[in-house]
Amino acid sequence: MRKKFLKNMDWGILICSILLTFIGFVALFSATQNDDYGDLKKQIIFFLISIPVVIIVMSIDYTWITKISWGFYAIFILLLIGVFFTEPINGATSWYDFGFFTFQPAEMAKIFVILFEAYTICRIQKIDRKEINKPLKLLLVFIILALPLGLIILQPDYGTAAAFVVAFLFMLFTAGIDKKYIFASIVLVAILLPLLYFYVLPEHAKTRIEVFLNPDLDPRGKGYNVLQSKLAIGAGQLFGMGLLKGNQTQLGFLYPKTTDFIFSVIGEEMGFMVAGAIIIIYVILITRTIYVAKTAKDDVGSYIAIGIAGVFTFHMLENIGMTMGLLPITGVPLLFVSYGGTSLITSFIMIGLLLNISGRRQKVIFME
């Protein structure tokens, strides 16, 4: 049984995640040379912690994990409420500060929301797959998302909230949601977006959008980071300026260079070749994740895998897009590459779940 599990497991997913992590180590080595490599050392420790975590997560049958996911979901709802009683960091109450490390519950909550949503959708569809399209049952699925989503928006952390939404949409689409709901949602968003912009969004959020559309409006303030990021990526050209030799990176113009703008560090010092390789590795990772969703032995495995694919897709597009000035800056990390203990461990838990699902599928499955 163990031999069959290891043979069925999608090793490509694990290889992609490790490659991204080690590219991140190299970038952090350069970005932290003036800070005694503090963030790099901590990132290596978090990676080492992630190894046994992945082994544990992939060893426990994911169907059993989903059955107890409601308990973890409830715990993280309490943790998301608790952060409002902590001291704000960079204007947001998103972290628990334990001195030697900080813990961001919203990051890890993504896993348990996906698990609980997958379990709930499968329970709804137990008799008939079309049950998901009944208004009251669809409302239940929305409420499960809305509770953590609302708390995260209040922190405020719009980037992480958007990751929840994208994962949820991937799962609903896979579950076979009726096209009428998709059309109604598009119309509703088109109506609500202008209202949200003018009457709900705080001034700092509006400013971010305006600066995204025209960074030169505030080149020394809100537009400073994206302008420096674009300069760094452009200066790297094909092969980069060389490790430890990037002007924007080493002279302190990029901030925060170990988290939000780690891709800019890579683009400047390692060039288009390595930056492009990161995108290719991500595309392979996401493609393999979707394939795991397609070949899972049951619906709950499919929904978990596709939800994780949504998280990976959003983080890749948003982080790389914002560093290139193509999307608004939201503080979303580049998973596996950016510094962040909670983010790295959460990412490897998702890898563990994917290995778990792929290892328990049939040896060969042909899908029509």
Q: Encode pLDDT of 326-351 as tens digits.
A: 888 888 999 999 999 999 999 999 99
pLDDT of 163 > 80? The answer is yes
- What pLDDT sits at residue 362? 67
Distance from first CA to last CA of the chain, Å, rounded?
28
State the average pLDDT for the chain: 90
CA pair distance 112, 107, nearest whole angstrom: 10
Q: How far does Cα 87 stand from its chain's mean position?
A: 24
Contact 160, 107 (CB under 8 A): yes
Alpha helices in 176-261 (DSSP H): 179-199, 203-213, 224-236, 247-250
Cα dihedral 131/135/136/140 (nearest 10): 80
* Within-domain flag for 6: yes
Residue 315 pLDDT: 97
- Domain range for 249 is 2-359
Position 352 in a domain: yes
Query: Which of 327, 315, 335 has its CA nearest to residue 230?
Result: 327
The CA distance from 167 to 183, in Å, is 19
166 or 189: which leads in pLDDT: 166
What's the total number of domains in the chain? 1
Residue type, position 72, single letter = F
Mean pLDDT of 2-22: 91
81: in domain? yes
Q: Is the pLDDT of residue 311 over 80?
A: yes
In a domain, 367, yes or no: no
Please compute the mean of the pLDDT values over residues 291-309 and round it to a whole number: 95
Distance CA 249, CA 207 (A): 25
Q: Give the torsion through C-alpha atoms of 33, 35, 39, 44, to 10 deg.
A: 50
User: Distance between CA 113 and CA 99 in Å, rounded?
Assistant: 28
Mean pLDDT of the 140-168 span? 93
DSSP conformation class of 170: H
The SS3 of residue 140 is helix
> Model's pTM, two decimal places?
0.92
Whether cis (ω within 30° of 0) applies to the bond prior to 156 is yes
- pLDDT more than 70, % of the chain: 98
DSSP assignment, residue 143? H
Considering the domain boundaries, does residue 365 fall inside one?
Answer: no
User: What one-character DSSP code corresponds to residue 133?
Assistant: G
**C-alpha 227: how far from chain center:** 24
Backbone angles phi, psi at 104, to 5 degrees: -110, 100
Evaluate if residue 363 carries a pLDDT over 60: no
Q: Does a structural domain hold residue 368? A: no
Flag whether 364 is in a domain.
no
Q: Is residue 36 a part of any domain in this protein? A: yes
